[in-house]
Every structure is written in C-alpha cells, then in structure tokens.
Chains A and B, each alone.
Chain A
C-alpha cells in the first residue's frame, strides 16, 4: 500500500514539476519584458527580446536531455574506449586490440551480421506478402491485427513465449513445447534447439521476425494502397498474372517505403539484446554485440573501457544509416 502511495506521489510530482517549468519560465519572461500596456518603442523592443528568447525556453529541456543522453555519451564512449577498465588511465588502442583477438567478440560480430542479413530481410518480406494477401480478403483486418499484436509484447515476454515453443523433453517423454511435439509427430527426434551451435541463432532470430513483421506489414500495406489503380489495371489488361503484378508493378513502386522499413528494422537489430539475454545469455555461441557489451559492463565489477569499445563498434555500424537518414530528411524538407 505504501508502495502504491509513494508511486502515485512521485508520478504526480514529476509530471507537475515538468509542467511548472514551462508555465513558470514563460510567465517570468512576460513579467520581465512586458509588451502589453507599454508604449510604442518599449513594447516593440520587449517583443523583439521575448521573441528571441522564447524559442530557447521552449526547447531548453529537450535540448538539454538530448545533449546529456545522446550527444555527450557518443563522445564520452569514444574517449572511454581508449581508457582502462575504470576509465581513468589512457591505454591507446589496447581495448580494440583485445577485441580483435577475442574469440567471443568475433563470434558476436559474425552473429550480428547474420542477424542483420536475415531479420530485416525476412521481416520485410513477410510483412510485404501479408500486406498484399490480406488486402484481398474480407477478414484481412482481423488477420492484420493478430499479426500486428506481437509488436505490443516486450522482448522478454516474447522470449518466454518462444522458450515455451522451443521447450525440450528428452526422447520418449511427452513434449510440451509445440515445436518438438510437431517434430516427434512427424517421426523425428526431439532437439534442445537452443543448444545447437550456429542454428540456434536462427531460432533466436525467429522471435524478432515474429515481433517485427507486423510493423513492416502495417507500413507496407499503407504504401500498397497508395499505388495508383491505373498502373495495376493496365497490367491486368496486358494479361499479367498475380505474381507479375505484385513483383513487377507493385513492389518497384514502393521501393522507397521498403527501404525505410528495412533500415528501421536494421537499427533495431543492432540494439537488440533482451532476446539473447533472456533466451541463452550468449551461451552456445549465440552472443551478439549488444549483449556482449552489457556483459562487459557488469562482468567482474565492470570494464568500462572494453564495454565502451564494443559500443563504439555498434555506433560505427549505425553511422551510414544515420547519414542516409539525415540526407533523406533534408531532401524531404526542401521539397516541402
């Protein structure tokens, strides 16, 4: 009960403090430089001053948070990656040298590339196919909702759900994991899926594909609806079949959207660590960069130098996408 009271109290306090900032500073600004009820020159001077200050009052908390939580860490991580485990002694490139020689790191990089190849491609592909199929049937919206649903589930929740799917009982006893049950029913032998090196990566990827397909589907389905009817009708008149229409007429017209979906999922893949943590914690050769980094942050009291070095690698992988993103956005804004 006291916990609940405390929770309510902190929540209200936090939100009110934030609102108070905006009302308070704007009230103060209007008090110090009043423009109402003053005569000509003074009023216009005050108006000019408030107009110059107010945007920064509006933006200050956001800029402050962005600087502290996103900009500063980028530079600080780069700096720390050249320092030892406590972040105090400069050690040059030795963290990176360690990284290259570390088998677990190489394993993580390899796995990360597997993830990057497989997950965005399959999630986008399934999303596209499902979007195209569900547009043609009367219960398409229900189907979409159900396929979209995993988007709401946490990665950890999804991990539990799939751990149950992959559950393994030794041969002969009744399987309660549906995958092994199907395998046994088809005459195979049950497997402990999580412990099969190399292939277990794919069983983990299935989880993220399962979550992300709904996202791809929603966006691609909107893009498909945006395709002008005439192009499709023209193709139908020319005798194109369903597959030809889909791959040769519809897909090329939504390439831009497919690229956006692809990159969004790619960024997500780089950051995903919860699934690996919850399912295997990197055992049986399933380690990925994000989880390896988390591991080094706390392993043996924490090694900030090595952790930061791994973070820098993740960052480097993201930079091309970042540049592409900014370029797209500025082009769009100019087109406005």
Chain B
C-alpha cells in the first residue's frame, strides 16, 4: 500500500506477523499434535517434543512369582519391561528413591541373595537362590529413551467409549435444521420488510435491530418455564429437538432478518416490477427471483448459523437436557473436562472431534463467511 516501505521496516513487519501467527496457531496445533500422540508420552512430555526421542522415568513390574522357572538350582523370572522392546533403557533401580542406581546389564543385588539384571533392550532377569513367594512381581524403576510414537488410538477410544460418537449425531440433529429453518423463515420475512409495503414497516425494522443485542441469558428462565408448561399441557417431554430448533431460530432470527433485508433491499427494483407486470405474484417473485439472487447472503448467514448452533453450549444445556443420550458435543466436552480433566489423551482427541466440523466448514467456505461478516458490519464493504 505504501510504496516507500524501506527494507528494515518490512522485515520487522514480516517478523511481527510471523510472531502473531505463531501465537494464534500454536494452541490449536498443540491440541492436534497431542491428540495423535501415544498417551503415555503425552502425559510426560510437552507436545513440542513430539518428534524427538524422549527420556522418561518409568515404573514397571516383573512378572509375578508364579511365572518363575527353576534353572541350575536357582529360580528365575524373566521378561521384557517395554512392550516390543522399542525403548532403550539407560538406567534402572528397585527403590523409588533411587530409580537410576544401576547401569543396564549389571547384576544388581537387591537383598536376600536375589539379583536383578535389566538390559538395554528392556529385557530383565530376576534370579533368586530360594523359591520366590507372593502374588505380585518385583517393582522395577527404569529410565528409558522412547522413540516418538503417533497413533489413532486416542480417537478410537474416544469414539467408542466416551460417548462422543452419539453426541456427534446429536450435534448434527441440532445444527442442520437449526440452520435451514431460520434461513427460510428469515428470508420470507426479510422480503416482506424490504419489498412489500404495509403499515408499521419502519417500526418493525427498528424493533428487530433492537433485538439484535438482547442477551440470550434473558430468555432462558422464561422459556424454560414456558417449555415445561407446554410440555405438561400436551403431555410431551419439555426438552425436544423441535424445542431447541425453535430456540436457535428465535435467537438467530434478528441477525438473519437484518442481513437479508439489507441485501434484498439493495436488489434492483426493475426486476421485480417487470416480473409483476408479467403477472407474477409476490410468492412467485420471491421463490423464483429473490431467493436465487440472494444466494451469497443466504450462504454467508447459513455458515454463521451453522457454526453458531454447532458450537453452542448454553441453549443445548438448557433446552435439550444433560442426559447421556441427549448431550451435544460441546456439553459432552464440558462433562469430560470435569470427569476426565487429567486425561489429556481423552480431552485432546474429543476436543479435536468437536472442532473438526467447524474447521472444515471454515476452510472450505471462508470466502462466504468473510462476505457475510462484512455485509453485517460495514456498509458497502
């Protein structure tokens, strides 16, 4: 834009934008990378070390004494601490306070004449002069370098066990009609407000603009009471999908009507007049002319409404209930935060599943999204 940008300044611009982009993307990147990591590694090392071999202090247990075999008059338990032997043991010990007391390959005297040897590949041998007793194996502490491991196990676990799968369908059941119905309703209303003369039109438009900012919280308690009343009156459950669609419609309508009315009011008058001369009714004009012409505005609002209903937590929690079968993804995620707050492999994978649909919508339809934002906020933008 400014032709005389000198090179040191432009480098500074590049660097600061780079820094900002990093600040804005790293949190999400961390989540995505973590959700693909092995859960043991995820719990002990930062996601930025995901590609490097990590050194971990681990605890293992030798097989129980019933696995011992007699060899040369001694009793031996052997096995491998690391499944598959992928890790490299650099030290081991038998007391929690001294987890790295011995070099791999040395025979450590652990009392009662027993010796323990742990090799670099994780294989161990516990040798005792007398028959070993007890039900649990000897605890072994060891330090191992573990190569990076990526897996889809977290996703598999989350989709099958944590209820994320059925919540995904619930979210779709909420979001799709909550997107289509308000658009249809808003489009008809916007057309009436833009092109059909009737008394009180200006006041209606002002009311709708005013309703744009009514906080959702305001509606919750009265609507909850209303829903309970209606449900009791007709003998149907108070919390239904129809109820939540209507709620999302009600909350999304002011913006939808406002955006679409502005757009439709900008369409050329001649088209409608010539259609009317040809004998078309308002209904025909709307369906055959206005709707196709308004496609850009409809699309951008559709994207917004979809993102908004998919990402909504409040409306779903109040009007759909918090039972296991009816939770939407966001609600499920909040529950997991409470119950599995420390299990990052569950949280990261679940969170990524909840954000993957909006991200796909965002990246594929970004152009319409931006257009919609501009239409709503900047005149002639």
Contact = CB atoms under 8 A, between A and B. Distances in A.
B358 to A, nearest CB: 4
28 contacts: A11-B172, A18-B185, A54-B282, A56-B192, A58-B286, A61-B188, A65-B185, A147-B21, A151-B362, A153-B355, A154-B358, A160-B348, A176-B42, A181-B46, A210-B27, A219-B373, A232-B2, A236-B2, A270-B215, A278-B337, A293-B220, A307-B220, A311-B218, A321-B213, A322-B212, A325-B212, A329-B205, A336-B265
B191 interface: yes
B102 interface: no
Given A146-B21, A226-B381, A273-B217, A65 B250 contact: yes
Contacts of B48: 178, 181
Interface in B330-355: 330, 333-334, 337, 344, 347-348, 350-351, 354-355
A170 interface: no
Contacts of B344: 164, 167, 176
A314 B1 CA distance: 43
A116 interface: no
Contacts of A146: 21, 24-25
B359 A153 contact: yes
Contacts of A65: 185, 246, 249-250, 253
For chain A, give the interface size range: 35 or more
Contact of B27 (A80, A162, A267): A162
Contacts of B141: none
Given A135-B1, A154-B354, A178-B48, A160 B362 contact: no
A10 B215 contact: no
A136 B307 contact: no
Interface stretch (A66-74, A95-103, A117-125, A195-203): A66-74
Interface string A149-175: 111111111011111110100000011
Contacts of A69: 219, 223, 246-247, 249-251, 253
B176 interface: yes
A279 B362 CA distance: 25
Interface stretch (B8-16, B58-66, B112-120, B292-300): B8-16
Interface of B: 1-5, 9-10, 13-14, 16-17, 20-21, 24-28, 30-31, 34, 42-48, 166, 169-170, 172-173, 176-177, 180-181, 184-186, 188-189, 191-193, 196, 198, 202, 204-226, 241-242, 245-247, 249-251, 253-254, 257, 265, 279, 281-283, 286, 307, 310-314, 318, 330, 333-334, 337, 344, 347-348, 350-351, 354-355, 358-359, 361-363, 366, 369-370, 373-374, 377-379, 381
A62 B217 contact: no
A66 B17 contact: no
A52 B198 contact: yes
A11 B46 contact: no
Contacts of B21: 143, 146-147
A21 B153 CA distance: 48
Contacts of A134: 17
Interface string A299-336: 00000100110111011001001100110011011001
A281 B186 CA distance: 36
A148 B46 contact: no
Given A11-B173, A153-B358, A66 B245 contact: no
Interface of A: 3-4, 7, 10-11, 14-15, 18-19, 22, 26, 30, 36, 50-52, 54-56, 58-59, 61-63, 65-66, 68-74, 76-77, 80, 87, 126, 130, 133-137, 140, 143, 145-157, 159-165, 167, 174-178, 181, 210, 213-215, 218-219, 222-223, 226, 232, 236, 242, 245, 257, 260-261, 264, 267, 270-271, 273-274, 277-278, 289-290, 293-294, 297, 304, 307-308, 310-312, 314-315, 318, 321-322, 325-326, 329-330, 332-333, 336
A76 B211 contact: no
Contacts of B348: 160, 164
Contact of B45 (A159, A174, A310): A174
A133 B17 contact: yes
Taking each of A70, A159, A321, which has the highest tally of chain B beta carbons within 10 Å of its own beta carbon? Answer: A70
Contacts of A289: 217
Contacts of B34: 164
Given A14-B181, A61-B189, 14 more contacts: A10-B241, A52-B198, A68-B246, A71-B207, A149-B28, A157-B311, A160-B351, A161-B27, A161-B351, A162-B27, A178-B47, A232-B1, A236-B2, A297-B318
Given A59-B193, A330-B206, A222 B378 contact: yes
B26 A63 contact: no
Main secondary structure of the interface of B (DSSP, over half): helix
Given A76-B222, A147-B21, A136 B176 contact: no
B2 A271 contact: no
Contact of A318 (B17, B215, B381): B215
Contacts of A164: 27, 30-31, 34, 344, 347-348
B215 A218 contact: no
Contact of A26 (B226, B283, B334): B283
B275 to A, nearest CB: 15
For the complex of A and B, 8 pairs with smallest distance between CB atoms: A69-B250, A154-B311, A62-B189, A152-B362, A76-B222, A73-B219, A160-B351, A58-B192
A76 B245 CA distance: 21
A74 B212 CA distance: 13
A271 B217 contact: yes
Given A156-B313, A318-B213, A322-B213, A136 B10 contact: yes
